[in-house]
Every structure is written in C-alpha cells, then in structure tokens.
Amino acid sequence: MPQMITVETQPRGVFGKNASRRMRSAGLIPATVYGLYEDPVSLSVDPKVMYRILHSSSGQNTLFELAVHSRKNAYVLIKDFQRDPVKGNLLHIDFLRIDMTKKLIVQVPLEIVGVPIGVKTHGGIMDLVVREVEIECLPGDIPETIPVHVAELGLNDILRVSQVQAPDKIKILTEPEVVLVTVLPQRVEEAPVEAVPVEAGTEPEVIKKGKAATEKEGEKE
C-alpha cells in the first residue's frame, strides 16, 4: 500500500449559513466525519487539499488519514461533497471512517488496455458500455483502476465482466453477464437519392393521365 497522506483539520463550533460563509471567506469549508459507530464530528478543512484528492488518479476512492482535533486520527474516504451549482466551488464535504481490517464495497473505473483488432485492422469502433465496476476488498487494497484487455476483440465482439481477470485480493461484484466493451462496424450512410429533373413545359405523368381521362369523358358526353 502506498504511503498514506494526512489531512489536517480544525474544530468547528459555530454553525449556520453565516458562520459557513465566514469560514469559506477564510479559505476553509465545513466538513463532517462519521461512521464506525462513533459520534459525528464537525470540522473545517482546506478545500484545495480536497480538490487535489478528488482530482487524483484514485479520486473519491483515495484512502487517507484525517487529523481530528483532540481525537485519535481516523482513516477515511470521501463519502459525499457539495459544490456551488454556478461556480463549482466545494461547499461541504463528508468523510467516512474506515476499519482497515474489514472489507468494503466501492466503484472502481475501468482501464482499457490495448487496441481491438476490429478497430486496428477492420476499421471498427470500440464502445465502452460501462465505465466502472463494483468491487469488494480491504481498504488498503483498493486499486486505482481495473484493467480490461481488449486487443483480441474483433468486429461485433463483446467483452463481459466474466472475462475480466480481477487483481489479487479483489472481488468483482458487478454481474458476470454485464457487457463492458463492444466493437462495432462503422455505419455506412446511404447515398441520397437524386431527384429526376422535370423538363420545362412538361407535366408529370399522373397529371397527363388525369387530363387524358377527362378528355375521354368529355368525348363520351
């Protein structure tokens, strides 16, 4: 397991919208840590540190240590967060305490390895149907990605969860029959049908027939 980072926090004793605004003006955001049958603790954290974690290769699955004021440090994951709908700034963040000895369930993105032969040789198009799968493992074994090898896929081939080799200590929980990747032939657009030009001074055949029928009817009368 890579070296775990420690995120510093500050205690939060004042609540309400005005207090939160002042906190954000000071360069911090409100946060809460909960889980493992312990009481929730209200904190404040540096949003820049949270951005770096959320935008890292492991993203929301990043396991780190939270320095909680006057309490023992806690191993946590980011459970949820709120952003400003207009500016996109972080407004609030929730941390979940993690027991390092118990398995947990998380969503992990897929990593495509190789280029399908149906794309490279036959000009097909690869479609990534599912971008992540659900796995179960110990917190210290959470992978950044699940590799999916696609080099052998030809035109109209599909790759299902059952064909993916899970890394050691990882159990994939997504249903085995779920399709992850397909290789499809490119669509060939039909050439537009050209309209047949009508010569000037001529009438369509339907009109001619109608006129001829009218003339014959006139003769009978």
Q: Which of 84-98, 182-196, 202-216 has the lowest mean pLDDT?
A: 202-216
In terms of pLDDT, which residue wins out, 221 or 7? 7
| pTM: predicted TM-score of the whole model, two decimal places | 0.76
SS3 content of the chain, % helix, strand, coil (to 5): 20, 35, 45
Q: What is the pLDDT of residues 12-69, one digit of tens each?
A: 877 888 888 888 889 999 999 999 999 999 999 999 999 999 999 999 999 999 998 7
Distances (CA, A) of 93 to 25, 66, 96, 138: 16, 13, 10, 23
DSSP category for residue 56: S
Binning pLDDT at 50, 70 and 90, where does residue 199 land? Answer: low
In terms of pLDDT, which residue wins out, 188 or 148? 148
Taking the C-alpha atoms of residue 94 and residue 43, their distance in angstroms, rounded to an integer, is: 10
The whole-number pLDDT of residue 72 equals: 86
> What value, to the nearest 5°, has the Cα angle with vertex 44 and ends 43 and 48?
140
Taking the C-alpha atoms of residue 142 and residue 59, their distance in angstroms, rounded to an integer, is: 11
Structural domains for the chain: 6-97 (2.40.240.10), 104-184 (2.170.120.20)
